[in-house]
Each structure stands twice: as structure tokens, then as C-alpha cells.
Structure 1
Amino acid sequence: MTLDITADGVIKTRLQNLKQATTGDHQHIDDMVMEMAPFESRDNYARFVGMQYVFHRAVKPLYDASDLNDLIPGLSVRSRFDHVCADLADLQCSLPENTKPFPVPKTGMGRLGWLYVCEGSSLGAAFLLKAAGNIGLNAEFGARHLAGHEDGRGKHWREFVDQVNGLALSTKQEQEVIAGAIAAFDFFRTLLIEDRKLAA
């Protein structure tokens, strides 16, 4: 496990460092999502799920990567891409088209940063799932991808945290992880900006 000790003697883990490095990006994305009011109507929500589809389709290869599954056992079953597709089907929406190349790296530890963003979004989705009830959606219809793992959100997240914190990475690889997380937030920010232009 990678540990950093601050000036006041506080020990921080790899993912705590990662969270600190991306707090501003994370907050900006949360603010932009709330601005589009995804739970005011099913039309707004469908736009939100469309962006989720593009993002989860982009990161799906990371969940299937054999080398990452060696590092993080059980990674392949964590993907929520199929749930996003089912939600779009529930909403009777066609699958969004995306002709632009995905910026997701195919190799390297930067991929862990992308996975951190994707897995972290599942942890924070409890509030969103509750809000989905305002427009008649739930974990069995329309909001499947927002549902927590059957073992519990917290337990499922802690397992991922322990696995990633336990990896032995070089200083360069640590920087790649942070850069990957920032790139993932930037990618979703781009999707939100494009949606805002289309909705204007």
C-alpha cells in the first residue's frame, strides 16, 4: 500500500491522495449534473443516461482487460454498462451514437484512475437513485445502473479501495493514476458541455 505522511503526521492512502487531487473536478461534474436537472422529467433523465451510456461504453474495455483483472480480481463483474443499456431500453431510448474516439488508455496505470472515477460514481449514486423515484423509476426499472451492489455500496467500494491501495506502483505510475482520473472527469465534463449545447 502506498502511504503519504503529511506535515502534521496524518497518514494518507493512495486513494485518499487521489480523492484530494480530484476533488475540484468531482465537484464541478456534480454541479453540472445538477444544473441539467436530470430528475425533473424523464426527458432530462434520458439525456443523463445517454451520457452514462457513452462513458460506461468507453470504460467497459478496462473492466474486461486481463491484466487489470489480475491486479483487481473480480473487476470484470463490476461493470454497469449492461445496466445502463437496460435503463435506456426501459425508457424506450435508442443507443446514443458517438463518432469521436474515446480518450481511454488501452495500457498503463492511468486506467486505474478511470476505474476510480467509474467505481466512485456508483458509491455516490444512492442519492440519485432516491431522486429517480420522483419520476417513477427505481432499481428494477429505468434506474438499474444507480442501484447499489447486492453486498452493499460501502462494502463493494471498500473492496475496490483495498485492492487498489494494495498495489505496488512506482512514482511515475502513481502520477499516471491521478492523470487518468482527471482525464475521466474531463471526458464526462465534455459530454455534459455537449449536452448543454444541444439543449440550449
Structure 2
Amino acid sequence: MLIELELPTEATRIQRLKAQTTGTHDTLDKRIMRAEPFASRERYALFLEVQHHFHADVAPLYASAELNAKLPGLADRCRLQALRDDIVDLGGTAETLVSTTGRLSPAVALGWVYVAEGSNLGAAFLRKEAAKLDLSDEFGARHLAGHPDGRGLHWRNFVAAYNGLPLSEAEEIEVAEGARAAFRRVHGLVERIFG
């Protein structure tokens, strides 16, 4: 009798990237939760400031013609304006911020975009916490709202396009470096803004 053995399926680019950045990502998640961003609207306003700086950093990437050619519809995924509206809802001033990333290679930029898009997937949990502060998709928590087609479908479409990109081994390394740099940037913002 022959027994068929199932060979392990090769990990996708997104799966490899997640594995390569898990430590940096977990450290950031724990730091954010220690900051108690949903303890009050005042704490949440600080969280919005962190998000505002990060999304100002990645907004030029979402507008990049080169990245939109690689990931069609990327420009429509940008959440910077929603964040600015959330800040205004809470009585803040959404000043114009300039990206601090400088010029990034396309591969490094893809790492930053991965982090930004992944945060949108994780926003489902944060949205529930924001609701406890009487914030919603229409007031104060717009940037946490899911896509009208559904958060899961929106993520799966992104993953399919991302996994399909033709990248060299060197570019794959750059993508991971970009993602880790993006996580570190947010961690630095949390430290500076929350203290």
C-alpha cells in the first residue's frame, strides 16, 4: 500500500514577511497597549497623533505611480484624510505633515505599505475599543473603519496582488527591512508622543 505524503506548501511572500517581522511587530503592539490609547478620549487623541505622523509618512507611497502600477488601487487605500478628519472631530488641529521617510527604493516602500495595510486589518479590534469612547466610522474613528466590501476581502485582494509581485531575493530582503523600519518608526512615535 502506497501512502501519499503531502509536501509542505511554500510560504507566500506575506507569510514570510510576517514571520520576518513578528518580533518587531509584537514589541510595538505591546508598547501601544501599555500606552492605554483607549483609556480616554485624551489618550485616544494621542494615538491619533501617532497614526497621523505614520500615515503622513506613507501617504506619498500610496500616491506613487510606480507602486500603483504594482498594486492597482493602492491610492484608494490611503487613510490620511480619514485620520485628519478624526483629529478635527476630537477638537484637534490636523496640521499638514511632511513624510520623514525620504526617498525609498520600491522594495523598501513595499515593506512600509505592508505595515500600513496590515494595521488596517488589525483595526477591527481597535474599532471596538474606540466604540467604548462613543467614537464611530462617522465620528472620530473613520480611519479604523473597514472597507465597504469587507475588511477581509479588502485584505485578501491586497495579499493576492502583493504575493504576485515579481521580486528578486535582494528585493525581498529590502521589503523586510522596510517593514521593520516602519514598525520602528511607529514605536518611536509612541515613545515620543505618549512619553
Q: TM-score, normalised by structure 1?
A: 0.90
Residue 137 of structure 2 is aligned to residue 139 of structure 1: yes
The 4+ residue runs of structure 1 with deviation greater than 6 A are: none
Residue 168 of structure 2 is aligned to residue 185 of structure 1: no
Conservation of the 8 A alpha-carbon contact between 1:54 and 1:96: no
> What is the CA deviation profile of residues 38-72 of structure 1, one whole-angstrom value per residue up to 9, with x for unaligned ones?
11100000000011000001100000000111111
Residue 138 of structure 2 is aligned to residue 128 of structure 1: no
- Pairwise CA distance, 1:95: 2.7
Structure 2 gap ranges (5+): 1-6
Cα distance change on mapping 1:161 and 1:21 into 2, 3 Å: same
Conservation of the 8 A alpha-carbon contact between 1:52 and 1:84: yes
**Root-mean-square deviation over aligned CA pairs:** 1.6
- Pairwise CA distance, 1:97: 7.6
How many residues matched?
A: 189
- Pairwise CA distance, 1:33: 1.0
Residue 38 of structure 2 is aligned to residue 39 of structure 1: yes
Q: Secondary structure at the match of 2:132?
A: helix
Cα distance change on mapping 1:64 and 1:98 into 2, 3 Å: closer
Q: TM-score, normalised by structure 2?
A: 0.92
Cα distance change on mapping 1:104 and 1:154 into 2, 3 Å: farther
- Pairwise CA distance, 1:96: 5.5
- Pairwise CA distance, 1:74: 0.5
Specify the alignment match of 2:55 in structure 1: 56
- Pairwise CA distance, 1:145: 0.3
Conservation of the 8 A alpha-carbon contact between 1:132 and 1:138: yes
Cα distance change on mapping 1:98 and 1:167 into 2, 3 Å: closer
Letter in 2 for 1:29: L
